[in-house]
């Protein structure tokens, strides 16, 4: 899954909250220049995934399938063209972004 900077910070807090607690970690990160409030952490943990992130997960499955079916040599342009031929409506910039994030 693709992660935003807030998601990275939330993951970091998740890893260390049992040792230090959420509020002290947030205070230390804020003192170091990374602003995050405990309420932001808790809100990020309880909100449902966005429509974009859900769609990205579905499209990434198809991108991986097409990429692997073509011996891992197709770039974003050819993967996009193949997905469009198969009837999946997706923008080429989305294919590029997801392939880059997935390391394809």
Domain of 27, in residue numbers: 5-46
Which pLDDT does position 58 carry in this prediction? Answer: 92
Residue 82 in tokens: 């193949």
Q: Do 63 and 96 belong to one domain?
A: yes
Which pLDDT does position 4 carry in this prediction? Answer: 54
The count of domains in the chain is 2
Residue 48 in tokens: 């449902």
Among candidate residues 77, 76, 70, the one with its CA nearest the CA of residue 98: 76
Which pLDDT does position 60 carry in this prediction? Answer: 92
Q: Do 59 and 32 belong to one domain?
A: no
Which pLDDT does position 1 carry in this prediction? Answer: 42
Which pLDDT does position 2 carry in this prediction? Answer: 43
Which pLDDT does position 31 carry in this prediction? Answer: 86
| Total residue length of the chain | 104
List per-block mean pLDDT (blocks of 10 residues) for the chain, which spans 104 residues. 68 89 88 85 86 91 90 88 92 91 86
Q: Do 14 and 31 belong to one domain?
A: yes
Distances in whole angstroms, Cα of residue 76 to Cα of each of 6, 43, 48, 67 = 27, 35, 29, 9
């Amino acid at each position: 899954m693709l992660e935003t900077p807030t998601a990275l910070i939330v993951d970091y807090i998740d890893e260390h909250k049992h040792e230090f607690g959420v509020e002290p970690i947030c205070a230390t990160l804020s003192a170091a220049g990374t602003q995050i409030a405990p309420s932001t952490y808790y809100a990020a943990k309880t909100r449902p995934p966005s429509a974009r992130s859900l769609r990205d997960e579905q499209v990434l499955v198809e991108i991986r399938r097409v990429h692997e079916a073509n011996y891992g040599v197709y770039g974003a342009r050819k993967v996009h063209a193949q997905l469009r031929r198969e009837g999946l409506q997706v923008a080429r910039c989305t294919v590029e972004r997801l392939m880059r994030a997935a390391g394809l």
